[in-house]
Structures are given as C-alpha cells and as structure tokens.
Structure 1
Amino acid sequence: MPKSAGIDVQTTGAPQRLHATDAASTTGRRPGRRRASTPRVAWLLGPALVAGVAYLDPGNVASNMTAGARFGYLLVWVVVLGNIMAWLIQYLSAKLGIVTGQSLPEVLGARMRNRWGRRAYWLQAELVAMATDIAEVIGGAVALNLLFNVPLLWGGLITGVISLALLIVQSRRGAKTFEFVVIGLIAIIAVGFTFGVFIGPPDPAGVIGGLVPRFEGTDSVLLAASILGATIMPHAIYAHSALARDRFVPDGVRGIPTGRLLRATRWDVSIAMLIAGTVNLCILLLAAANLAGVPGTDTLEGAYHALWNGIGPAVATLFAVGLLASGLASTSVGAYAGAEIMHGLLHVRIPLIARRLVTLIPALIILGIGFDPTLALVLSQVVLSFGIPFALIPLVWLTAKNEVLGTFRNRWGTTAAGVAASVFLITLNGVLLWLLLSGA
C-alpha cells in the first residue's frame, strides 16, 4: 500500500485519521503481510517516558526533599495522588496528539479566533515554560557545584550547553534517538534517587500514616502545591501531545491502527508514571527517614551534606549524580515544549537552539545574584501549579468533544475524572493564595 494510505474519514461527525489497516478493514480488503510488519508494542513505547522526565526534574527533587525534611511523612498522599492524576492527564494529552495529528497548542491555536485572547493564553503558557527552564538549569548548576565545586553561574552555563547538545540530537537524529538518550538519563536518575532508601529505609507505619490526606499550616499547603506543580507539569501536557504526534502520526501510514496506538500509549504512560511516581516517593521518604529535624536540610546543598554525613558518601554522590541527570534531561524537554507552545499558539516557529539560549538568561540571572537555589526551585513549582488549570481544562474539554476525537472521545467516566482533578487543583491553588494573602 502506498504511503498515502493514511486518509481522513468522517466518523460520527468528526474528521479522523484512518491508518492503513483501518482502511483495509473498511473496504473489505485483507491487510495481508502488512500486519506482520506492524511494530510490536515495545517498539511503540517512548513518548511518555520522554514527557515523564518532566516529572523527575530538579523542581520535583527540591519540593519532595523539602517536604520530607520539614514535615516527615505528612505529604506522602500528595505524591501518590499527584501521580494518579498525572497518569490520566498524560494519556489524554497523548491521545489528542495521536488521533488529531496535532499538539494541544496547535488545536487551541486553531480554535482561538480572538488574536489577543490567543496571545494572552500564549503568555501564561510561556511563563510556565520559563519557570520550568529556571528550575532545570538551577538544578543542574547545584549538582555540578556539589559534585565538582563548580560555581553556580558556571554550572548553569554548562548545563545550558549540554542541553543544547541534546536538542541538536533531537533535531538532527529524530525522535527515536532522542528517546533513547533521555531514557538512559532516566535510568541514572532512578538509581541516583532510590539507592538511599535501601540504605536508610523509611518507617512503614509513617508511610501508611502519610497516606491520610491532611495539612499542617500554610507551609504544608505551599509545599503540596509545589509538589503537584512539579508532578503535573503544564509543559509536560503540551509536550506529550507533540511528542506523540511527531512519533506516531508519520508512522501511521505504516499500517498501525489508531486503537492499537492508544493501547500501546496506555502501557507507555503506565510505565513512565510508575517510574516517576516511585522515584518521587523515594525522594520524599529518603528525606523523611533521614533528614527530618536535621538543621539545614530544607535545601539541596544541606540535604546533600546531611546525606554524606549521615548515610555515607555513596548515597550523597548518587543523589547529586541523579540531580545532574535530572537537570540535563528535563531542560531539553522543557525547551521542546516551549517551542511547541509558540508554534501552536502564535504560528511562529523558532529554532530550539535559539530558544534554549533565550530562556537560559533568567536562570543565569538568578544564579548570578545569589538567590537561594532551593527556594527558587520550590517557587518555580508553585508557578507551574497555577499554570495547570490553563492546560488541563482545555485538554479535558477537547478530548471529550465528538467533533475533535470522534469515536475516540472520552467516556463519561474519564471526563468526570478529569473534571474532578481540575476542580481539586484549582481549589488547592485558591486555598494557597488565600493563606498567603491572609498571612495565616
């Protein structure tokens, strides 16, 4: 079958992309040998793992480490709940990209008729992407400082240069090669952040008690919002739809039915979220079990030195190595998301490398003026938390619409879960804002 076999058909009133095997089934023709050459499920995995690196960025490390050091096991439930919501959200994002062949910013850009409204939406999304960049560059700089005593400003520059190299790989070698590189960094991250839990294990009773939802004052709410902002990251929602589009839509002409792509995507998202959730939980438990009540451990530097003195150099070194890999991997995904946001909403495409250079500046300014890196990381995650509704509400709305996804639209239960997640996150942000303004 020629490469033009991917065609548009009308299904329940919505334009749907029909893959080669779908076309064969509707015309009565047998797909023949085409089915034998269809890639296995394992070969279809990858986009969610790349998007999932956003859940393992330095902002996550700072938020979870600070939460564990200051409040022990209190916010375990926030990490678990955030990961459950993240599974649903990332799957919906990938589904939108696969079925429509467009990213979330592209779909929104085509539907927003008011030019100024579209620009305002782009501005908030761009600020979220910049907050992400700040967190990732700062995290890499802190890791280089801990490992090699590199000054923070120079560490930020080095992190930026290495991230440029990763973006060059993505632009020149394609999505699959980029996925392999990022997955390799994820493996380093996982080892670096989970090793310490086996050396200094948490208290099982404390972990179980931490599953009960509750807060203890304004600071715990602030950290909960920070954890959720770091777990359910707006730029990951924008990026995943684009990653799925880039990976699967060109391959759709190879005879892979949309339904099979979505089944593979569910596995992809499940694996990615299992890894991210486990690592994030281990970071909090490591701090809760070994750093709670220890002075100065609410910063990355203090946590590193406390781990060195309390558990041993091996744990502390692996922690710093994981932090470095986290910064390098996530900063490239953040730049990819930012470029997609600009292209989809403003219809302007700038080279990823140029964007990386521009968004590096705010992080270098923060490092140069001597602002507390850990505080900057935590605050950046709060900014991300406030950006979640602007990405999540349109995602749930679009994936529930028959005219957008046709037969692949959300079932009512899926839409209800998405609405519940949106309401919860918006309510948490509202409570946080009220507590901060009232000085409670």
Structure 2
Amino acid sequence: MSNATSDPANGLRGKVSQLGPTWIAGAIAAGPASLAAVLGAGATFGYTLLWVVVLSALLGATAQYLSMRLGLLTEQGIVGAVEEHLGELWAWVLVIDTVLASGLAQIVIMKTVAEVSGTVVGFDPRVWGVVWALVLAVGLAGGGYRFLEVGAKAIVSVVVLAFVSTAFLVPIDAGAAAGGLVPTLPAGLDGALLAAGVLGGAVHITLITMQSYTMRARGWTRDDYDLGLFDVGTSMLVAFGVFSVATFLVAASVLAPELSPGGKLQAAAAAASLGPLVGNFAETLFMLGLWAAAVSTLGANTVVPPYLLADKLGWDTDVSDGRFRAAVAAVALLGGLGAFLGGNFFSLLTQMLTFGLIGTPFALAIVLYLLNHPDAVPESNPLHANVGGLIVFGIASVLAGQYVRQQLRTGLGDPVPTFFVTFAIAIGAATIGLIAKYARDARRPSQPVDAGSDA
C-alpha cells in the first residue's frame, strides 16, 4: 500500500512520486483519437469550440473521480463488484462492451503508431506494426504494471510538452480565444459531431473501467483516497486539460478547414502546414507529439481487455498469473494487424471514438449504480458526486443518441455503421434495463445477489 498520504513528511514530493493509475487512463485520453477530434474542432470552426475542449477535461476528471471512488471504496475490480452486487449477466455485458471498444481501438491505434513511425523514421509502416506489437508483448507481459506506469507518465509528459511548446510558437489570437470560452455550438451536424468527438475522447469506457485495476496494481486502498484525488487532478485536469487546450489553439490558429479530420487530414499534411508559418521546429514538435500520443495510448489500451477478462474468469490481474500474461501478449500481438488495415487513420480514429462513446453511458450507469448501492459502498455517495455523474451520463447519452439518429436518417448501407447502430441499440436497451433495475431495487430492502443470476 502507498504511504504517501499517511506520512506527512512526504508532502507534495511524496504524492508526486506515488502518482500513476489515472496517468495511465490519461495516456489513453491524450491519444490520437482525441487529437483528431480537437484538431478538427479548431481547424473547422476556429476558436468557437474552445469551451467544449475545457469542458471535456472537467467531465473527464469527473468520470475518473467516480471510478476512483468505486475502486478504492470497494477495493475490488469493477467486474468483480458488478458480479457480486448486480449479477453475472451484467458483468458479462460490461466485459463485452469494454472489450469490443478497446479491441477496436487497439487495431486502429496500432495503424496510427505504425504510419506515424514510418513518417518520422522511415521504413514500411507494416514493419513498424510488427515491431511495436513485439515491443508491447515483451514489455507489458514481462514488465507488468510498473513498465506501463513509468512509460505512460514519461510519454504523456512528452506529449504535453510537445503541444504546449508548439502553442507558444504559433500566432494565437487571444481575443478570439477568450470569445471561444462562451458556450456556442456552430449550426449544422459538423459542429455537433466534432463537439461529441472532443467530449468522447475524455469520457470513454476504457478509461472508466480500467481505473479500479490500475489502483489495485498500485496497491492502493481506502487509506489512499486523498492520493487518488491528487492523481485524478494532476492527470485529467492538468496534463490532459493542458494537452487539449494547447492542441486546440494550434489548430484554431494555423490549420485550414480542408485539413481537418472532417476534410482530408493527413498527419504529414497537418504538420507541414505549420512549417511556412512558424518554422520547421514546430512541424517537428507536432509530429513528435502525435507519435508520443499514439504510443502512450497503444500501451495503456493493451491491458484493458486482459484486466476485465481476468477479473471475470477469476484470474489474478497481474503478470504473475501466466494466463493474464498470455492475454496481454495476445492483445499486443493481435493489435499488430492494424498496420495492415486500409484507409486514413484519422478517419478511422473518429469511428473508433464514436464506438467507444456508444458504450460509455452503460459503464457510467454501472459506476453510479454501485456507488449508490449500500452493500457495495457502505457510505453514501456525496451529492456533488451524483450530480456530476448524472451530468456526464446525460451528455454522453445525448451524444450517443445523436449519432444513432443521424445514421438512421442517412441510411445503413455499409456494414460498419450498421454494426455500430445495432450495438448502440443493444447497449442502450441494457442501460435502460439497468436504470429500471436500480429504480426497482431502491424500493425494496437490499438483499445479497446470487452471482449466477441477473437479478
């Protein structure tokens, strides 16, 4: 267990040395999918959506705060807590929801890492896909949590530094930026979808579900609650917030609308557009930031499916268990297939973010249900936590619903949107069923749940 909070002599330095679990979630949040959405918002609408970027950091921190509370107060993995207090069916729904979202993300992010590696260093991106798959398999399966945590903190720091440095090199219109803090949503579908993408990058099912496992790997318990708050604040509010705002200001200042992800954005084209304006140094920083963002997300995302599957199947969620170690290696190696995937990775990242957003309301509903379940968490959930959670849940649900309505309006001729909408309807029905279950259970005395039932 960490002793940073129990030993006052450690002070701020002691807390900083103990940071880690939420920084791994932050490594996923500050990734290429969020980058694509933020770049698109800035390039397409200038500074207008700056308020959405700031809001995304606040909502992302709120979601991780709720996940932190659940993990520390139950001292369980989220799947185990769901199975014990809600039933096996709900646990499987959560596992399937998360594994699908993180599995799709793994393939698309690997394509991103491979292509950016090819652009920065050279060589065929498919070669880089194989190389990175092997690095992940050996590093994560061999080094375990500490390898992941150290890598996440280091690379996220590089990402933040790269984009903050780039922001200092571009000509930012301070007055227009201040105007962008006033909530205004541009007319038309593009504005709504880009706002959804920005928010979806910060509030995502993989971030929410992995928190309890990374805290357990760190050895945190209820005694480390204050340290957990500090971890969430420094990673999601500070590091992720600074990354998002800096990236947005760069895009709003110098990128043209035709280079946005809604247009024909290519990583090299976006980076090259900086060169004539502010010099090759900014171009280099942009590419290095994109590269680091993709690598950090890839590593953190790799452990998400093994964590949930291991918890559901009764394995140890640590590389000391050969089955868990094999699952980590398998996810890393299978992700290498992404390097052979066709299409523009920025476009694919947007689709990946959309799919993750579809599954997020269910995960948020699970967290809020358990935090207000007297047998799962004996102490009452604070009013501010419930209000904040409901706000995040409501926004995520509305944005997911907007996507489904738009797809149904435009038609479902292609298999990808058809699958997305079908999954959205199914997981939406599960979410409604969970809310109905909570309302029903709230009217009767609490009883132990048989883990083999779906009561």
* Fold-level similarity (TM above 0.5): yes
Equivalent residue, structure 1, for 2:107: 134
- Name structure 1 gaps, 5 residues minimum: 1-5, 7-18, 21-33, 253-257
What's the CA shift for 1:381?
A: 0.7
Q: How does 1:246-261 map to 2 (within 5 A)?
A: 246-249=217-220, 258-259=222-223, 261=224
What's the CA shift for 1:114?
A: 4.5
The correspondence for 1:393, drawn from 356, 360, 365, is 365
The correspondence for 2:167, drawn from 197, 204, 210, is 197
The correspondence for 1:182, drawn from 143, 152, 156, is 152
The correspondence for 1:122, drawn from 71, 95, 117, is 95
What's the CA shift for 1:142?
A: 2.6
Q: Distance in 2 between matches of 1:38 and 1:374?
A: 44
Q: Distance in 2 between matches of 1:36 and 1:272?
A: 22
Decide which moves more: 203-212 or 231-240: 203-212
Equivalent residue, structure 1, for 2:428: none
Equivalent residue, structure 2, for 1:299: 266
Q: Is the 8 A contact 1:136 1:326 kept in 2?
A: no
What's the CA shift for 1:151?
A: 2.5
The sequence identity of aligned pairs, in percent, is 22
Q: Is the 8 A contact 1:93 1:237 kept in 2?
A: yes
Equivalent residue, structure 1, for 2:67: 93
TM-score, normalised with respect to structure 2? 0.79
Q: Distance in 1 between matches of 2:356 and 2:22?
A: 19
Q: Distance in 1 between matches of 2:17 and 2:107?
A: 33
What's the CA shift for 1:248?
A: 2.9
Q: Distance in 2 between matches of 1:132 and 1:61?
A: 14
C-alpha change, 1:311 and 1:299, in structure 2 (3 Å) is same
What's the CA shift for 1:436?
A: 3.1
Q: Is the 8 A contact 2:41 2:194 kept in 1?
A: yes
1:381 aligns with 2:362: no
- Deviations, residues 208-247 of structure 1 (Å, cap 9, x unaligned): 2322231331122222222222111211111111111221
Q: Is the 8 A contact 2:28 2:301 kept in 1?
A: yes
Equivalent residue, structure 2, for 1:269: 232
What's the CA shift for 1:128?
A: 0.9
Q: Distance in 2 between matches of 1:114 and 1:401?
A: 16
Q: Distance in 1 between matches of 2:295 and 2:279?
A: 25
- Deviations, residues 55-111 of structure 1 (Å, cap 9, x unaligned): 111111112112222222232222211111111211221222222221212211333
Q: How does 1:137-156 map to 2 (within 5 A)?
A: 137-156=110-129
What's the CA shift for 1:372?
A: 1.3
Q: Distance in 2 between matches of 1:83 and 1:314?
A: 28
Equivalent residue, structure 2, for 1:67: 41
The correspondence for 1:430, drawn from 383, 388, 401, is 401
Decide which moves more: 60-69 or 205-214: 205-214
Q: Distance in 2 between matches of 1:313 and 1:178?
A: 32
C-alpha change, 1:294 and 1:219, in structure 2 (3 Å) is closer
Amino acid in the other structure paired with 1:200: V
Equivalent residue, structure 2, for 1:370: 342
Decide which moves more: 72-81 or 160-169: 160-169
Amino acid in the other structure paired with 2:127: W
C-alpha change, 1:162 and 1:58, in structure 2 (3 Å) is farther
Equivalent residue, structure 2, for 1:333: 300
Q: Is the 8 A contact 1:49 1:268 kept in 2?
A: yes
C-alpha change, 1:60 and 1:353, in structure 2 (3 Å) is farther
Amino acid in the other structure paired with 1:52: G
The correspondence for 1:311, drawn from 257, 264, 278, is 278
Equivalent residue, structure 2, for 1:222: 193
Amino acid in the other structure paired with 1:64: V
Corresponding pairs, count: 397
What's the CA shift for 1:141?
A: 1.6
What's the CA shift for 1:122?
A: 2.1
Q: Distance in 1 between matches of 2:175 and 2:151?
A: 38
Equivalent residue, structure 2, for 1:255: none
What's the CA shift for 1:429?
A: 1.5
Q: Is the 8 A contact 2:53 2:245 kept in 1?
A: yes
Q: Distance in 1 between matches of 2:254 and 2:108?
A: 25
What's the CA shift for 1:389?
A: 0.6
Amino acid in the other structure paired with 1:84: L
SS at match of 1:426: helix
Q: Distance in 1 between matches of 2:137 and 2:75?
A: 27
- Name structure 2 gaps, 5 residues minimum: 317-322, 412-455
Amino acid in the other structure paired with 2:252: A
Q: Distance in 2 between matches of 1:42 and 1:362?
A: 32
Query: What RMSD, in angstroms, separates the aligned Cα atoms of the two structures?
Result: 2.8
- Deviations, residues 146-181 of structure 1 (Å, cap 9, x unaligned): 21233232232233223234314542xx53x54233
SS at match of 1:410: coil
What's the CA shift for 1:392?
A: 1.0
SS at match of 1:279: helix
C-alpha change, 1:60 and 1:248, in structure 2 (3 Å) is same
SS at match of 1:73: coil
Equivalent residue, structure 1, for 2:133: 160
Q: Distance in 1 between matches of 2:187 and 2:111?
A: 29
Q: Is the 8 A contact 2:163 2:286 kept in 1?
A: yes
- Deviations, residues 343-387 of structure 1 (Å, cap 9, x unaligned): 23344674345444446546635x424211110111111111112
Amino acid in the other structure paired with 1:97: G
Q: Is the 8 A contact 1:399 1:410 kept in 2?
A: yes
SS at match of 2:48: coil
